[in-house]
Amino acid sequence: MWFAFFLGVTGSFSAWAGILFLRMKEKDLDFWEKLPRNRPAGAILGLIALLAFIPNVKPLFSPEQNLVWLVPAAFILAFLCWRYLDHLFARAAAGAVILLVHWMLNESFQADLAGSSFFSLMSLAAGTYAIFIAAKPYWLRDSFRAMCREYKWRLAGGVFSLLWSFSALILLVQLIGRISK
Q: What is the pLDDT of residue 55?
A: 79
Reported as type and span, the H/E element at residue 35 is none
CA 97 from centroid of its chain's CA atoms: 2
Alpha-carbon gap, residue 3 to 121, rounded angstroms? 18
pLDDT tens digits, residue range 123-165?
999 999 999 999 999 999 999 999 999 999 999 999 999 999 9
Q: What is the pLDDT of residue 53?
A: 84
Average pLDDT over residues 15-28: 96
Q: What is the pLDDT of residue 150?
A: 95
Rg of the chain over Cα atoms, rounded to whole angstroms, equals 18
SS3 65: coil
Alpha-carbon gap, residue 90 to 85, rounded angstroms? 11
N- to C-terminal Cα separation, the chain: 14
What angle is formed at CA 52 by the lines to CA 157 and CA 45, rounded to 5 degrees?
50
Number of domains in the chain: 1
SS3 150: coil
Task: Report whether pLDDT(180) > 70.
Answer: no
Average pLDDT over residues 110-122: 91
CA atoms within 13 A on the CB side of 44: 3
Q: What is the pLDDT of residue 181?
A: 61
The reported pTM is: 0.88
pLDDT tens digits, residue range 44-103?
999 999 998 887 777 777 666 666 788 898 899 999 999 999 999 999 999 999 999 999
Q: What is the pLDDT of residue 64?
A: 63
- Structural domain of residue 108, as residue ranges? 2-58+66-180
Q: What is the pLDDT of residue 29?
A: 94
